[in-house]
Amino acid sequence: MKTLNFEDLTKIRKKAQATLNMRELSYAAVSEKSCGLAVGTEHIELLCCGGTGCKASDSAKIVDNLKAAIEANGIADKVEVIVTGCFGFCEKGPIVKVMPDNTFYTQVTPEDAEEIVKEHVIAGRKVERLLYVDPKTSHTVSDAKHMDFYRKQMRIALRNCGFIDPENIEEYIARDGYAALAKALQEQTPEQVIDIIKQSGLRGRGGAGFPTGMKWGFARNYQAEEKYVVCNADEGDPGAFMDRSIMEGDPHSVIEAMAICGYCINANKGLIYIRAEYPLAVHRLKVAIDQAREYGLLGKKVLDSDFDFDIEIRYGAGAFVCGEETALIHSMEGKRGEPTLKPPFPAESGYNGYPTNVNNVETLANVPIILTKGAEWFSSIGTEKSKGTKVFALAGKINNVGLIEVPMGTTLREIIYDIGGGVKNGKEFKAVQTGGPSGGCLTQKHLDTPIDYEHLTAAGSMMGSGGMIVMDEDDCMVSVAKFYLEFTCDESCGKCTPCRIGNKRMLEILTRITEGRGTMADLERLKELGEIIKDTALCGLGQTSPNPVLSTINNFWDEYVEHVQYHKCRAHQCKNLVTYSIDPTKCKGCTACARKCPVSAISGEARNPHIINPDKCIRCGMCISTCRFDAISIS
């Protein structure tokens, strides 16, 4: 075990910085001719995305093939393959970046590895077919600096993701890792550190937006023989993968922040509550914790100081309600994951009845850099009441699906059209869901809304943990509301009546509406029930569960009326409200649709127009996908 002191940490940082110097330079102006051993580059690094998304697309095989090609060509002493965390541009993964010229290769396959080595690394010629093509100009773009997807981003919580090897502690140290912890232990009192966090304006990124410094202050003020620091890594929103990517790409930032929090609130024990469905994040956290212990950054006498702090991992079974801090604590205690009425808050009585501070992954990832760069630097970013940046998982009907980080105050329009590249297939934008099952659906009129806690709440949605799902003209907003309510009903712990029974009744009403059995009175009942649940549910998750329904009623009232009064779904998503028909002028009588229909609802003789029996049709869409003559339509 390396029991490091402050001087040892500085020596490691200086030594490791030499390794990362080339990557740092790549973000400055680099000559296009600097690529390849053939033109004199002394050392080349191939950074390969090792996030869950790219690993699912064979990035591990790409790494193996790159290493094999390097070995076969006898250049292993000059070229290194490094597995990093997520680059963010998931739509174009797997991604390989070549340093020092910062070439950004997209949608790489294992078969491309040998060509990258022979053409780029050895011959000094970029592989044009693997470069990103800007859809606006149709020109290739060779580096991330000139891609619209990255241009308006500002990576603070994601600062190391895609840049360092997450399983190499010295690469994290080279990026000023553990400098904040060392400074706090050596030069600052706990009260001074808490004041810096307060002055920075950092608020909780898990959804509630509570001031982080104030939360730490509360936990510090309660006296007890034992205290705990808890990292909430239970990311349960549909379509959300922000925290997972941080843990996979930069686990040490979370560990360092937890240690700093422990120093501030006088806690010696940290617990990371993570869902077991995140095996890669769990693996990298385990590696990082072991490395931190080995280097004396966790355990007894951290950095040869009087401060003791260690971390354990606790697993969750994937219950959405365990994202709520009191339910999370109960789950860690081996009890049912149910929330309790507050007060007392966890800062007073949390894990095993002791004062406990709970922060989510993204909140913690901001802490070390705030202490390194200062409160004024962080507070200069964002809006008056919402400081810093926010990470979003941008998904749905969007051209550039991926993980993004933008300053607070960036508008929805900038995210969807500038960073996201607009709606897929030239379709018309219809809505964007922010905040997951606790958020709401925003429309065209909200596109210029600045993204921060206050503006999103005023618009009928919320920041949430950072899920952002874009929808187009083919999405039915009544069905979207039903989808989120189904999720909430499935995930409800059932402890309180408003959530357990109220949401079930709302779901029954929505089901009737989507099946063509709803009434105008049902719409009034939906609104009334939603407001009652918001006011009476036990926890924040229950209180916000009606938001998707209420926001779609407010913003898409005409769609609800169409479903109820005219039994029509304009998006053709509610099966009971659509009719399939065959155009006799287009039908060639090929019988393909009849042969594919699973319920024999299509009849007709060969070479003659066919017909669909609406009473037998189950609206599965098989006939449309089978017809080669565009003869089948939906109304």
Q: Which amino acid is at 631?
A: A
Fold of 27-142: Glutaredoxin (3.40.30)
pLDDT band at residue 10 using 50, 70 and 90 as cut-offs: confident
> Per-residue pLDDT tens for 226-281?
999 999 999 888 878 899 999 999 999 999 999 999 999 999 999 999 999 999 99
Q: Which helix (H) or strand (E) holds 240?
A: none
- Phi/psi of residue 471, nearest 5 degrees: -125, 150
Strand partners for 407: 389
Fold of 477-565: de novo design (two linked rop proteins) (1.20.1440)
Which sequence spans correspond to the domains of the chain? 27-142, 169-378, 389-472, 477-565, 579-634
Question: What's the confidence (pLDDT) of residue 36?
Answer: 74
Q: For residue 267, count CB atoms less than 10 angstroms from its CB and return exposed for 0-12, middle for 13-18, buried for 19 or more.
A: buried
> Per-residue pLDDT tens for 586-597?
999 899 999 999
d(CA 541, CA 232): 15
- Rounded to two decimals, the pTM is 0.91
**Assigned CATH for 389-472:** 3.10.20.600
Residues 6+ apart with CB under 8 A from 113: 62, 65, 66, 68, 69
Question: What's the confidence (pLDDT) of residue 29?
Answer: 41
pLDDT band at residue 30 using 50, 70 and 90 as cut-offs: very low
Question: What's the confidence (pLDDT) of residue 24?
Answer: 60
Question: What's the confidence (pLDDT) of residue 3?
Answer: 67
Question: What's the confidence (pLDDT) of residue 2?
Answer: 62
d(CA 365, CA 390): 11
Question: What's the confidence (pLDDT) of residue 213?
Answer: 96
Domain range 169-378, CATH architecture: 3-Layer(aba) Sandwich (3.40)
> Per-residue pLDDT tens for 445-503?
999 999 999 998 888 888 887 889 999 999 999 999 999 999 999 988 989 999 999 99
Mean pLDDT of the region 551-576: 92
> Per-residue pLDDT tens for 158-182?
999 999 999 999 999 999 999 999 9
Residues 6+ apart with CB under 8 A from 618: 575, 598, 599, 601
Fold of 579-634: Alpha-Beta Plaits (3.30.70)
DSSP 170-201: HHHHHTTTTHHHHHHHHH--HHHHHHHHHHHT
**Which is more confident, 228 or 601?**
228
pLDDT band at residue 288 using 50, 70 and 90 as cut-offs: very high
Q: Which helix (H) or strand (E) holds 292?
A: helix 279-294
Q: Hey, is 389 helix, strand or coil?
A: strand
CA atoms within 13 A on the CB side of 236: 25
Question: What's the confidence (pLDDT) of residue 429?
Answer: 95
d(CA 98, CA 399): 25
Cα distances from 138 to residues 32, 132, 134, 319, in angstroms, run: 20, 9, 5, 45
Question: What's the confidence (pLDDT) of residue 62?
Answer: 97
d(CA 58, CA 50): 10
Question: What's the confidence (pLDDT) of residue 530?
Answer: 94
State the alpha helices, DSSP H only, in 459-546.
477-491, 497, 503-514, 520-536, 540-544
d(CA 592, CA 228): 65
Q: Which helix (H) or strand (E) holds 97?
A: strand 96-99
Question: What's the confidence (pLDDT) of residue 27?
Answer: 44
pLDDT band at residue 377 using 50, 70 and 90 as cut-offs: very high
> Per-residue pLDDT tens for 180-226?
999 999 999 999 999 999 999 999 998 778 999 999 999 999 999 99
> Which range, of 4-13, 355-364, 623-632, averages the lowest pLDDT?
4-13
**Which is more confident, 6 or 353?**
353
Question: What's the confidence (pLDDT) of residue 34?
Answer: 57
